Amino acid sequence: MTIRRRAAGGTDGERRAAGMIRPFIGALAVILLSLRLALLPAAADKPAAVRSGDGGAFFLEGTSLYLSFAAMDLDGARVLGNADQVFFVPRLKPSLGFGIGFGRRFRSGLWSVSYLVSGHDATLRGRDSSAVSRLVQVNARTFLARSSALRPFLHLGLNFPWLKVRDGVADRDGRLHDARYAGLGVNIGAGALAPVSERMFFSASLLYRYNGYLYAYGPVKGIDVTDLFDDVTGPRHTRFLRAPVIALELSLGYEL
């Protein structure tokens, strides 16, 4: 099989993800400290107001995020395939993204459903490309302190990710097509929530997501990743594509 490839260029930042968690933690600490200092004057005058929404108010939420895929199975060098199609597994660079969602807030915490999307530069066996990561996230943020205005929380969630990679799969004639991957994931993290106004609140979360891409879609048909072969002619691939992610999410919510 002859594969048409583009000229290589640029670098893939191979070691960047390994040191990414420390800047995330520092950024979150600065955010939480700034919020705490901003809330101190109001707290000195009177106790923090607790809206009736703590009993079950619905809200809308907008989110900005920064995320980094760890180079586990998405290493930019792996090739999976069969006689009909060949998938070039990408290496994704860190990037910014955004999302929208809705949920319901209670005194003990809140739950929400969000749609998140981010665009990434990618490399495929030395060839430059790009990718778009999307996921639907169902999460719960459980307050560790309920009486203060600044409320730290634990963040737990379930994700349904899918990934589109430009020119990431070749057919039997060597023509390149966009590849798509879909799967399932979970996340755990921590953060804090603070009021901005009577109806508006700000939330910051540092998350570790463990995503697994279970299915690959190319020009022929969708296929289970474990039905593909390493390097096309090698042994059958025995597991899903592991894709851990470190993410910082900053959200602004408005209670209805």
What average pLDDT score do residues 143-166 get? 92
Mean pLDDT across 65-81: 93
Across 124-128, 129-133, 209-213, least confident range: 124-128
Tell whether pTM > 0.85.
no
> Which domains, from first to last, does the chain contain?
17-36+58-255 (2.40.160.20)
pLDDT at site 146: 78
SS3 per-residue string spanning the chain = CCCCCCCCCCCCCCCCHHHCHHHHHHHHHHHHHHHHHHHHHHHHHCCCCCCHHHEEEEEEEEEEEEEEECCCCCCCCCEEECCCEEEECCEECCEEEEEEEEEEEECCEEEEEEEEEEEEEEEECCEEEEEEEEEEEEEEEEECCCCCCCEEEEEEEEEEEEEEEEEEEEECCCCEEEEEEEEEEEEEEEEEEEECCCCEEEEEEEEEEEEEEEEEECCCCEEEHHHCEECCCCCECCCCEEEEEEEEEEEEEEEC
pLDDT of 38 reads: 45
Task: Examine the pLDDT at 103 and tell me if it is beyond 50.
Answer: yes
| pLDDT for position 55 | 59
Residue 8 scores a pLDDT above 70: no
**pLDDT tens readout for residues 29-45:** 545 454 454 445 444 44
The confidence score (pLDDT) of residue 65 equals: 95
Q: Mean pLDDT in the chain?
A: 83
Q: What is the pLDDT of residue 9?
A: 39
